[in-house]
Chains A and B, each alone.
Chain A
Amino acid sequence: MTTPNTEAHDQSEDIIADLSEYLDRGERPPQELLDRSPAHQLALESLLRFRAVAGGLLQADADAEPARDDSWVSRILTNIHIEARAGRSIPLTSPSPNAEFSITEGAVRGLIRAAGDSVPGALIGRCRLDGDVTVPGAPITVAVEAGVYWGEPIPAAAQRIREDIAGALRRHTELTLAAIDVTVTDVTVARDGQEPDQ
């Protein structure tokens, strides 16, 4: 796989590494670090949610025999720091011709990730906004990848993720949603879940 912007990618990896070091020690990252950019705060929020949900999953994986592929962990972490970047500027209607309101694509992706992660048992992986978000009224498709707990009915989980994301976007943006595509890419064992028969 190629990385289109290596420098930005490396910087993002630094953000996750920096934040993870503090969290691993049970410390809160210093406010000065978080104030440096919205990307740091967005990454921290996503990382905290991820660790809260993934803690049980990782323990279940560790207890399971044989050892399972944990590439989903690195995939989600990679997506968190890539998507924390500001990206495109999405316009909001302003009441004055002298004023310009907007919301960054990074903020919207953070919103989508938070909405999806709030669904019990779901953990959002990749998140993409397809379409020209800089043009008011342009049809936009939201494409997310998600992991769900083993035993959860996948269609119901996907529908709940879709509804929560739609609600969050309607509340904070004026995007014209053509579709919200949810692809379930991982099924993982919950902390108190049962091992699937294989």
Chain B
Amino acid sequence: MTTTELHEQLTGLVKSIDGVVQVYDARPTALAAAADLVATLIGQPSGEPIAVRNSGGGISVAVSVAISDASPAAEVCERILEAISGHLGSDADGPAVDRVTIQVSRISSGEDGGEPGA
């Protein structure tokens, strides 16, 4: 599996988790901007928001999400961890999971769903 495929899979996986409203770019801002610029120049799609790094010690995954107010933040983080660990662990030949970092960047109270200016 390529790194791009893994990014896409993990992003889709996290977006599908109950309580996750949005997935933000977890890559350092400067790095993300540079990577997206290069991708644009060579005609490739911009990078997926979940940061994945494969070092000698295993895979590190960083996720930044917005969650709904319906579930406590820690509970949603546990769901994300479980899903990521399960997904990466399902590949017996793949590298081990070294670290998973999950940051809640926004808790949605639902006001953004309405019509603006109403």
**Which A residues fall within an 8 A CB radius of B?**
22-29, 34-35, 37-38, 41-42, 44-45, 48-49, 51, 86, 89, 92-96, 98-104, 106-107, 110-111, 114, 118, 171-174
Number of B residues with CB within 8 Å of any CB on chain A = 32
A92 cross-chain contacts in B, Cβ below 8 A: 73-74, 77, 104
Considering the chains assembled together, what is the distance between the CA atoms of A48 and B109 in angstroms? Answer: 12
Tally of A-B Cβ pairs under 8 angstroms: 112
- Which of A35, A93, A104, A173 interacts with B103 by CB under 8 Å? A104
Question: What's the least CB distance linking B35 to chain A, in Å?
Answer: 15
B43 within 8 A of A: no
A89 cross-chain contacts in B, Cβ below 8 A: 103
Question: What's the least CB distance linking A10 to chain B, in Å?
Answer: 16
Considering the chains assembled together, what is the distance between the CA atoms of A94 and B22 in angstroms? Answer: 21
The answer to whether B66 and A41 touch across the interface, beta carbons within 8 angstroms, is yes
Contact A98 to B100, CB < 8 A, known contacts A41-B106, A42-B106, A114-B109: yes
B81 within 8 A of A: yes
B108 within 8 A of A: yes
Question: What's the least CB distance linking B36 to chain A, in Å?
Answer: 11
Considering the chains assembled together, what is the distance between the CA atoms of A96 and B86 in angstroms? Answer: 14
- Which of B85, B103, B112 interacts with A44 by CB under 8 Å? B112
The answer to whether A96 and B74 touch across the interface, beta carbons within 8 angstroms, is no
The answer to whether B116 and A100 touch across the interface, beta carbons within 8 angstroms, is no
Closest 6 CB pairs of A and B: A38-B105, A26-B117, A103-B104, A38-B106, A101-B77, A114-B109
B97 within 8 A of A: yes
The answer to whether A41 and B115 touch across the interface, beta carbons within 8 angstroms, is no
B99 cross-chain contacts in A, Cβ below 8 A: 98-100
Contact A106 to B105, CB < 8 A, known contacts A94-B77, A94-B81, A98-B100: yes
Contact A41 to B117, CB < 8 A, known contacts A93-B74, A111-B107, A114-B109: no
